[in-house]
Structure 1
Amino acid sequence: MILQELETQLLALTPTEKAEAIRLLTQSLNNSWPGITKTPDVCGGDACIAKTRIPVWGLVESRRLGITESELLNDYPHITATDLVNVWSYANAHLDEIEAAIKKNQEA
C-alpha cells in the first residue's frame, strides 16, 4: 500500500477510528505496548500479558478457535478485559510475529 492510498483511507475514518489509529501508531513508534512484555527467559521471549506467562499468540489462537473473550476471562480469572484489549492491539500491530509463534508452537 502506498502512502497516498493510506491517506485516503485514514481520512475516511470516523473521529473515533482516527483516534484509535493515532494511538496505535504512537504505540508502534514508541515500541510501547502497555500490559505486554517480552522477557528472554519467560515463554521463550514471546510477548505475554505483563506479570504472567500467558503468551499473546496463545490468546490469539484461542480466539481463532472460537473461544470468546468472556470465556477467556473466565478461564484466566487473573486477567482483565483491558489485558485482552492490549493483547488484540499488540497482535494486530505484530501479525508476522504472532503468526510465526503460532506456527512454531503448532510444530512443537
Structure 2
Amino acid sequence: MTRQELEEQLLALSLSDRAYIVQYLTERLCMGAKGIQKTPGICGGEACIAGTRIAVWLLVEARQMGISEAQLLQDYPHIRAADLVNAWAYAEAYPEEIATAIGANDRVVE
C-alpha cells in the first residue's frame, strides 16, 4: 500500500475513527516516556510530567477513580493532552513503580 492510498483510506474514515487512529499512533510512538522526568528532590524523585510537579502516579490514580482526561486537563491547565499520553505510556511501561507509588501515597493518607 502506498502512502497516498493509505491517506485516501484514512480520509474516508469518520472523524472519530481518525481521532482514534491518531491517539493509537501517538501512544505507540511515545513509548519512550518522552516528556516524563524524575528529578531528585522534587516530588520525592517520582516520575512527573516534565517541567511540572504533577506525578504520573497521581494522574493514574485519578484515572482509576474515574476522572476523565478532559477533567484532568481542566484541573491541570498547564498540561496538554500529549502529556497525558506520555503519562499513560510511562505507567504502562512501569506498572510496578506506579502501583508502589499509589500504595505509598494511600498509606500516608490513612
User: 1:56 — aligned with what?
Assistant: 56
Instruction: Give CA-to-partner distance per residue, 1:58-95, whole Å, 9 cap, x none.
Output: 00000000000000000000000000000000000000
User: Deviation at 1:48?
Assistant: 0.2
Question: Percent identity over the alignment?
Answer: 54
Distance 1:106 1:51, change over 3 A: same
| Structure 1 residue matching 2:41: 3-state secondary structure | coil
User: 2:35 — aligned with what?
Assistant: 35
User: 1:79 — aligned with what?
Assistant: 79
Q: Distance in 2 between matches of 1:42 and 1:55?
A: 10
Which is greater in Rg? 2
User: Deviation at 1:55?
Assistant: 0.1
Gap runs ≥5 in structure 2: 1-23
Q: Distance in 2 between matches of 1:43 and 1:105?
A: 12
Higher RCO (Cα < 8 Å, 6 or more apart): 2
Question: Would the aligned equivalents of 2:37 and 2:47 in 1 still touch at CA under 8 Å?
Answer: yes
What is the TM-score with the length of structure 2 in the denominator?
0.71
User: Deviation at 1:23?
Assistant: 6.0
What is the TM-score with the length of structure 1 in the denominator?
0.72
Alignment of 1:17-36 (within 5 A): 20=28, 24=31, 27=32, 33-36=33-36
Q: Distance in 2 between matches of 1:105 and 1:93?
A: 20
Q: Which amino acid aligns with 2:51?
A: K
User: 2:20 — aligned with what?
Assistant: none
